[in-house]
C-alpha cells in the first residue's frame, strides 16, 4: 500500500446562516465551512415551511414568454 496518498482527515467547524455551529470531520482544505441550510433550519427537519418570494420570478417568466393560457 502506498504511503501518503490519502488526503488529511481533520476537524472542520461548520457555521450555518441561521447561527447554528457544529463540528465534523472532513477532507476539506479549510478549518471552517459556511453553509446556508442545516438540520436546525431546514424545513424537512423542522416541520416548518418557509414561504419563498417566487412571485417575482413567475411574473418575470410570464412577461418574457407570454402569460396566456393555452
Sorted by where each begins, the domain ranges of the chain are 1-48
pLDDT at residue 70, as a whole number: 53
Q: Among residues 51, 48, 18, 49, which one has the least CA distance to residue 35? A: 18
pLDDT at residue 52, as a whole number: 63
Q: What is the CATH number of domain 1-48?
A: 4.10.80.400
pLDDT at residue 34, as a whole number: 94
pTM over 0.85: no
Query: What DSSP string describes 26-39?
Result: E--SSSEEEES--T
- Which residues of the chain carry a pLDDT beneath 70? 50-55, 67-70
DSSP 8: P
Amino acid at each position: 500500500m502506498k504511503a501518503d496518498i490519502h488526503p488529511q482527515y481533520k476537524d472542520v467547524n461548520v457555521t450555518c446562516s441561521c447561527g447554528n455551529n457544529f463540528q465534523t470531520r472532513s477532507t476539506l482544505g479549510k478549518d471552517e465551512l459556511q453553509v446556508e441550510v442545516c438540520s436546525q433550519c431546514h424545513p424537512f427537519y423542522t416541520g416548518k415551511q418557509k414561504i419563498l418570494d417566487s412571485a417575482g420570478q413567475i411574473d418575470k417568466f410570464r412577461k418574457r414568454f407570454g402569460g396566456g393560457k393555452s
